[in-house]
Chain A
């Protein structure tokens, strides 16, 4: 875990890894470049420099401009697809040459700071499925849906291209059911459910080990080498929310205090508080989220009594845990378990 975490003003995104593709898509849909770039610190001549960078504040502004200028609901879905097939991004190339989905996902997780530093994934396995939960590593505010759609589109496109099937793949989203489901149905073509507790993608285990059609160990190694070289330019950094999430997750059943986390991150307590406010969240919320995700994960994976769970999550007694769980999900733990196993 790197000591420093990035925030909105740190230039951790490569222009070539997303912005150029997004701008090209919007321009082909009739938007003007100077309007798309207005309000950001990006210059037109920097767009094609090989290692040109931008920070998240600019990226969010860019996303907002694109949606204002172009009324095209397909944009995030196309962006995910375009990123996957971009010839500039060696990480995406390496994903396609991977042996199987497992290797591709490991690769994506390891080099995620090169493509989506703003989103972090937590994966776990149940009896039949691999579940990948996606969390924001910094506050995306109203661009959250767009970013998630992009990441999911990339993953789904990879599955479609390399495995040719999406049987059993499910996407769960936190957002409300949108008015118009057509884009999701059309571009993803798998089961999508809304109003869930977490944004996640579950993939049946057999699919994870099925060989990719374009699997090529030599090309994979070459692409991986390029990714490693890129690491020298763009060192791995994690978002603030991801740092806190991981710290707390490792520390369970002990609950971290705000001062503890601030010390670990090399920040003062007040500046941590201020930064969290910028991310539209607060410390208690984050800790709650970690416990919620952990509880859900354990309940899905196996048999664990409420008492054990309460101990694992740092609750003083079973009763408190049950009440918290009901607040998170609307079910008491045993009901949740039976609902999940029934499905």
Chain B
């Protein structure tokens, strides 16, 4: 967030510096015994708190209209408090009224600006809340997350796939899919017990989440079948990813008699999620048949 506000920070530094220079030029320093330390403490704390507000605004808000209002309001406050603090150390000649105006005028203006910004912020938050509530309802409604693997389930996959297909068609970019299936998982369950099978599914889903990109949507389709959607990825790239995944998973799971995986990459060219998933099933069945045939030959 800091980087978005470089110019603002530069401006504020310049403003405060100019205030300091003006004060030093017009007035003269007080002697040490004339300082009222209680005033210094009070005004210093106010200044620090106002500076803290500036820092919080900069670090937490993106650039935008509401942020500008909030920032400049606080900046005016900071400016006014800064001069307020300076006059504890510097005495101004009586005939120059400029410094006392500069000290007292920006504060109320800053307050008004800040309040206007806060109203804007309130509206913004209400809109966000409304949107979030809508989304949360959707999540609760469908209970989309598979409790075992913490991946999304089939309902979510169908919805997202349909949306992505439409999006990619309008942008004319390519969408790919990885289908992953465990060979003879029921046999593994039978040999090692269902607890081991469930633990393996959990581990596998973690590995998948780590190995794929953030933008990829990984879902547990059903039982021991997983589907990963790869947005903006062409088929050759998806095939490279599948190969990479095969190697990584083989290394990570080779320590005991864990089952082997079939991973198949395919491009999504259908215009409907249902047919796309059907073709994924078909491709996977073909890949499985091919591997069993190879095993029989050897």
Residues of chain A at the chain B interface (Cβ within 8 Å): 21, 24-25, 28-31, 70-72, 74, 78, 81-82, 85, 157, 160-161, 180, 182-183, 186-187
Contacts and interface: CB of A to CB of B under 8 A. Distances in A.
21 contacts: A24-B194, A24-B195, A25-B194, A28-B195, A28-B198, A29-B147, A29-B148, A30-B147, A31-B147, A70-B147, A71-B143, A72-B147, A78-B194, A82-B194, A85-B189, A85-B193, A85-B194, A180-B154, A182-B154, A186-B222, A186-B225
A331 B154 CA distance: 38
A157 B186 contact: yes
A17 B270 CA distance: 47
A74 B221 CA distance: 11
Nearest to B199: A28
Please list the 7 inter-chain residue pairs (A to B) with the smallest Cβ-Cβ separation, ordered nearest first.
A71-B143, A29-B147, A186-B222, A28-B198, A30-B147, A82-B194, A29-B148
A204 to B, nearest CB: 22
A78 B154 CA distance: 17
B222 A183 contact: yes
Contacts of A180: 154-155
B146 A182 contact: no
B222 A81 contact: no
Interface residues of B, number: 18
Nearest to A31: B147
B147 A81 contact: no
Contacts of B221: 182
A187 B223 contact: yes
A30 B148 CA distance: 7
Interface of B: 143, 146-148, 154-155, 186, 189-190, 193-195, 198-199, 221-223, 225
A160 B186 contact: yes
Given A85-B190, A186-B225, 16 more contacts: A21-B194, A25-B198, A28-B148, A28-B195, A28-B198, A30-B147, A70-B147, A71-B147, A72-B146, A74-B222, A81-B189, A81-B194, A161-B186, A180-B154, A182-B222, A183-B222
Contact of A161 (B190, B194, B222, B223): B190
A157 B187 CA distance: 11
Contacts of A28: 148, 195, 198-199
Given A81-B186, A81-B189, A74 B223 contact: yes
Contacts of A30: 147-148
A29 to B, nearest CB: 4
Contacts of B147: 29-31, 70-72
Nearest to B220: A74
A28 B199 CA distance: 8
A72 B194 contact: no
Contacts of B146: 72
A186 B64 CA distance: 51
Most A CB within 10 A of own CB, among B146, B189, B194, B221: B194
A78 B221 CA distance: 15
A72 B186 contact: no
Contacts of A160: 186
A24 B189 CA distance: 14
Contacts of B143: 71
A81 B190 CA distance: 9
Contacts of A71: 143, 147
A180 B194 CA distance: 24
Given A81-B186, A85-B190, A187-B223, A72 B195 contact: no
Contacts of B154: 180, 182
B194 to A, nearest CB: 5
A74 B186 CA distance: 14
A186 B223 contact: yes
A157 B189 CA distance: 12
Contacts of A182: 154, 221-222
Nearest to A28: B198
A24 B194 CA distance: 9
Contacts of A29: 147-148
B222 to A, nearest CB: 4
Contacts of A186: 222-223, 225
Nearest to A78: B194
Nearest to A96: B190
B206 to A, nearest CB: 15
A173 to B, nearest CB: 19
Contacts of A72: 146-148
A3 B141 CA distance: 48
B202 to A, nearest CB: 8
A24 B148 CA distance: 12
